[in-house]
């Protein structure tokens, strides 16, 4: 596994590639996770796109991903990729869209296991009442990302 770092408006991101695509993005550096820091075309492309996103010049990512998850998780992540920049959905809406209307909590679990936040925009999922809910990077980062995209929400 190869990794590299990107300084952003929300802090340093660690981007990982397995040589087939981006497989993980961490908000915080994890010294216990072994990876080789080096050059990789997928990481270079991901860093370029993330820079443009944070500069307000990119609204849709086209990053080569190679991620692992259950079929259910992958269906949720695929649905998240359909939420456009500047828009949001609720957990219940995502559950309905994947044909599992009673799976709101399971959708939340899939979001919690999202290996590539921002690229797969789990920050665009909010509570049914319009409020912010959990986020792996912490609510201040979720709030920043939503405001960056011009999304109104309840605090």
Task: Specify whether 46 is catalytic.
Answer: no
| Catalytic-labelled residue, pool 3, 23, 46, 122 | 122
Distances (CA, A) of 115 to 19, 37, 129, 130: 16, 19, 26, 25
Rounded to the nearest 10°, the torsion over CA 100, 101, 106, 109 is 110
Asked if 106 contacts 61 with a C-beta cutoff of 8 angstroms, the reply is no
Active site residues: 122
């Amino acid at each position: 596994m190869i990794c590299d770092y990107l300084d952003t408006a929300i802090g340093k991101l660690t981007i990982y590639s397995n040589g087939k695509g981006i497989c993980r993005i961490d908000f915080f550096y994890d010294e216990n996770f072994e990876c080789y820091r080096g050059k990789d075309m997928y990481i270079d492309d991901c860093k370029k796109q993330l820079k443009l996103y944070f500069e307000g010049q990119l609204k849709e990512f086209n990053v080569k991903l190679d991620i692992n998850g259950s079929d259910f998780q992958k269906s949720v992540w695929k649905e998240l990729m359909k939420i456009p920049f500047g828009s949001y959905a609720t957990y219940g809406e995502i559950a309905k869209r994947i044909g599992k209307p009673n799976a709101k909590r399971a959708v939340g679990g899939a979001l919690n296991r999202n290996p590539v936040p921002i690229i797969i925009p789990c920050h665009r999922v909010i509570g049914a009442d319009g409020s912010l809910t959990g986020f792996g990077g912490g609510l201040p980062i979720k709030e920043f990302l939503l405001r960056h995209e011009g999304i109104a929400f309840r605090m």
